[in-house]
Structure 1
Amino acid sequence: MIIEVDKSASGQDLHAIRQTIEGAGYTSHLDRGDEVTLVGVHGRAIPESLEDAIRKLPGVMKILRITDSYKEVSRKFHPSNTVITLENGAKIGAGELTLMVGPCGVENYSLVLETAYWAKEAGAQVLRGGAFKPRTGPYSTQGMGEAGLEILARVKQETGLPIITEILIPQDENVSVGQVIAMFERYGMDIYQVGARSAQVGGLLHALSKRNHPVLYKNGLGMTAEEFLNGAEYLLSGAWGDDGSDGGGNPNVMLCVRGTAGETTVSRFPLDLNWIPYLRKKAHLPIIADPSHSSGKWWMVVDSSLAAIAAGAGGLEIEVHPDPKIAKSDDKQAIGLEQLMEIATVGREIFNARKALKPDYRMTNHYVDRPA
């Protein structure tokens, strides 16, 4: 439920509204937007008696019940864009193009370090690299494991770049998800990536919901956009069960569109660019695009990247390798330095040009189909 509050309401009025909500056993969320002040109500089904009591309080203008199954993710509930701040102060979703670049898989220290310096030259904010690699077939390289995390940690210390790397459910039945997360924490990984094959693994999503650590959440291979948003709700709500009350979730979540399984003659995982404006309208989370996996071909990555930015993506996650021809994984979709610099330069021009567009019918005026 969302409560629209008069912009002139006093702090005492807001306190009374939130006290009424929390006194009934619910939690509340305050969002002071440019256009309106909202108080969101979290928890199980809200009785009409509580709604009536809230409606009578000073400052309450309107009460709206959210019909979307994803309430924490919904922009209706949280009109302001979420901004995620990393350990080094870098911000994602703050109005600048975010670039996360690096090799598909960690191969050795010198390769990752060289790529990191490329990333810095291009102005990228985050270095990507896979230490644990879930692959389509069992005979493909599965990554270096903990040794790969150690290399990423060393490169982070050398260059100062934050690290994004994929986190998986442990393959060893004697190792818990909590122990895997603790290992990633020990090596100082800055963003945990939930990949397409883990997008609906409830145990992993629930474990990550209990930490405020940044998470990049990718859509699953066969997910619809609505299923994707509901998957993100696991992370943001921390809920597990019918009543939806499990003590809060993780607010530091990014959505990453990487295409879905489909016709593959042209591209590897076709990406419908309409997902990007749709997700921006529906959710308040940063939207990142993955042109490497969606295209599957290195020579498509530049154009796919620029198209995603034009569609409204706030950032890109791209596979970059010093010598793509010899990359141990995903060599056909890895790009080199020249292509990276082109994306960084032209991509920022497109991103900045988009700022001139009026955003009102894209991300505000949520309660009507069209602007007046």
Structure 2
Amino acid sequence: MTRFDIVIVGGGIAGASLGAELAARASVLILEKEAAAGYHATGRSVAFWEETYGGPLVQPLTTASGPMLLSPDPDFSDRPFLSPRRTLHVGRAEDAEARDRLLADYAGKVDLERVDPHRIVPGLRPGWTLGLLEPAVKDIDVGALHQAWLRRFQRRGGAMRLSTTLRSARRQDGGWRLETSDGPVGCGVIVDAAGAWADEVARACGVAPLGITPLRRTVLQLRVPALPSPALPLVMDMGGGFYFKPEGKGHIWLTPHDEAPSPPCDAAPDEMAVAQAIARFQEAVDWPIEAVERKWAGLRSFASDRAPVYGFDPEMPGFFWFAGQGGFGIQTSPAAALLARSLLLEEPIPEAIASLDPAAYCPTRFR
């Protein structure tokens, strides 16, 4: 039976980033049940870095990750993963409370400017009178980032087994014996980085689940020839009804911001959500839609308080949670991986993330 110090279940952005940080200090195996890593949530992201996205508990992780994504170490990438975008938060008169909450939650932390939204987005319909500009928002090259994590993991000696399912695991000799579709594996620590399958992995290991719930998000690509400019900001409804982002000349990515509970699965777009997205888009701007070019869906997985879960399970030795990262696991991956590495290896927290409070993300809050 092959043995490793650490086995990570899940090869998406969470497992790849943490694996890359651990592999220089321990022998690490990533188990990925799909034929390609990053097939699910990682490969279906709308791909932006936004400090207000995910809420006040996520913002410190996003902010700390920004410099590492914008100016990565040369051995990690020879170019930035971020490029300029901006976000325009828009609202109608009834959204004044949501606007004020944004301003209060991020005062002194994130730059938010009151603006006339019609000066920034031509074709915005008259009812949308409230505007907050978040100028620091960037697009993320998700594919390049994920591949960079995987390359670093492999260069540092990490091993990966694709198309390999964890069937069960039990404590044995102070560690774990895992039964997989590719045979037994031994290790000292299991890391649950399985995204929508996080609670299922926990159950397979005899660990009580935390109630991490997958929520489906539907996304469309529309052909909109009247799009004024591909450099327009990401436009986000303060009321939570939609957001859309230019994706090249004459194309946008649009979502109705849906959060439908779903079992862990290969998510498919919901036709009702597609119709809602189009209706809400047409209520916001007067740009004619020429075609729905494609549509897809992904599962964003949340704990009950919508904060991520990083740390050892208090009731099961050697079981480490790295899950519940919603739709913000990509934009927070550098800081989250450093924090989780420190917690797992019981090392001092690096200076780059010294401002983070690990207690905010600890699984003990659910036990």
Fold equivalence (TM over 0.5): no
Bucket of the pairwise TM-score, normalised by the shorter protein: under 0.3
Which protein is richer in helix relative to its size? 1
Which protein is richer in strand relative to its size? 2
Higher relative contact order (CA 8 A, sep 6+): 2
